[in-house]
Amino acid sequence: MDIHQPELVTLENLGNGAIPEMFQAALNRVLKNIGDVNTEWKAKRSITIETGFAPFDDRSGADISLAVNVKLAQSRRASTRMFMAYRGEDVRAYPQHPNQLLMFGSEGRGEHAR
């Protein structure tokens, strides 16, 4: 670079290096999401770099807005059941039907509802 020439705008120096830093943070989020077993492995993830330019009135330059947007895979849904029992005015929730526990004991605890 010629010491007498001003530096030209590049992706690396725009916003004092904001874009590479923002991209790295976004990439880390994508990698974490890909590794999350609670997301669909086939779902595509994306990173979008957005730059907006608002020219000055005299057209001598522009204000620039920078954004890095991330689209991640959503968490998979899970479902289960709960059973409610009323004790006077008190309401309690149980993972198994409370009457079954009285009839059959505690065997079967820990099984997931289907």
Give me the tens of pLDDT residue by residue for the chain, a chain 114 residues long: 567 899 999 999 999 999 999 999 999 999 999 999 999 999 999 999 999 999 999 999 999 999 999 999 999 888 889 888 888 899 989 888 877 766 665 555 555 444
The span from the CA of 72 to the CA of 38, in Å, is: 12
49 plus 91 within the same structural domain: no
**Burial class of residue 26 in the structure, from the number of CB atoms within 10 Å of its CB (0-12 exposed, 13-18 middle, 19+ buried):** buried
22 plus 60 within the same structural domain: yes
Whether residue 84 contacts residue 92, with contact meaning beta carbons closer than 8 Å, is answered with yes
66 plus 89 within the same structural domain: no
25 plus 57 within the same structural domain: yes
Q: What is the pLDDT of residue 114?
A: 42
Q: Which domain does 93 fall in, by range?
A: 79-109
104 plus 66 within the same structural domain: no
Other CB atoms within 10 A of residue 71 CB: 14
Whether residue 68 contacts residue 23, with contact meaning beta carbons closer than 8 Å, is answered with yes
Instruction: Name the residue type at position 90.
Output: D
Q: Number of folded domains in the chain?
A: 2
